Amino acid sequence: MTHKGREVEIKLAVSGAAAARRMLRAAGFCVSKRRVLEKNTVFDASSQTLQKSARLLRVRETGKVGKLTYKGRPDNGKYKSREELEMDLSDTRTLSVIFERLGYYPAFRYEKFRTEFQRSGSPGVAMLDETPIGAYLELEGSPTWIDRTARRLGFAETDYITASYARLYVEWCEARGVEPGNMLFA
């Protein structure tokens, strides 16, 4: 959910998907998009130009639907706020080949099951992401909406996570002494 080409979001670590669903229902949220497996491939040059500049070029596959996303450098602050440009794709495989011909290669692959929730009349969206490293709520909307919703769900600003899933995965691997690879379901 972007506003004028800009996304504002945070993540919140939750104990599990079932607990998160109960928490969201208790706060008046209903499922707006059913649970679906998202397969994401982040592309970068071999010199990691995009990663080093905190930008992202991603191809997401959700069933037969594809989406290309560019994310700009995030602003510093308690929210992750940055430019986001997206377009639908009909042929993710050909686009991946085009990227490789231009010198962009799959740098990181990650999967997650995502369910989207909304409250009636509410401008933001809460997304439940079930990943191989745990469950997270992602709140996307205006800063005011994010703060109000996080409090309603029982979280404080100190719980806000602005790291990417790639960063969270690397930290998860480091904490367990595991060599990072791709964040995929077994």
The tens digit of pLDDT for each residue in 31-90 reads 999 999 999 999 999 999 999 999 999 999 998 899 999 999 999 899 999 999 999 999
In a domain, 39, yes or no: yes
In a domain, 186, yes or no: no
Count of domains forming the chain = 1
Compute the distance between CA of residue 89 and CA of residue 67 in angstroms, rounded to an integer.
Answer: 5
Q: Residue ranges of the alpha helices (H) in the chain? A: 17-26, 49-52, 92-101, 143-152, 165-176
In a domain, 182, yes or no: no
Mean pLDDT, rounded, for 169-186: 97
In a domain, 27, yes or no: yes
Q: What is the pLDDT of residues 97-110, one digit of tens each?
A: 999 999 999 999 99
CATH number at residue 91: 2.40.320.10
Q: What is the pLDDT of residues 2-40, one digit of tens each?
A: 556 899 999 999 999 999 999 999 999 999 999 999 999
Name the residue range of residue 75's domain: 6-176
In a domain, 53, yes or no: yes
In a domain, 1, yes or no: no
pLDDT at 166 over 80: yes
Closest to 147 (Cα-Cα) out of 9, 6, 7, 4: 9
pLDDT value for 3: 53
In a domain, 121, yes or no: yes
In a domain, 12, yes or no: yes
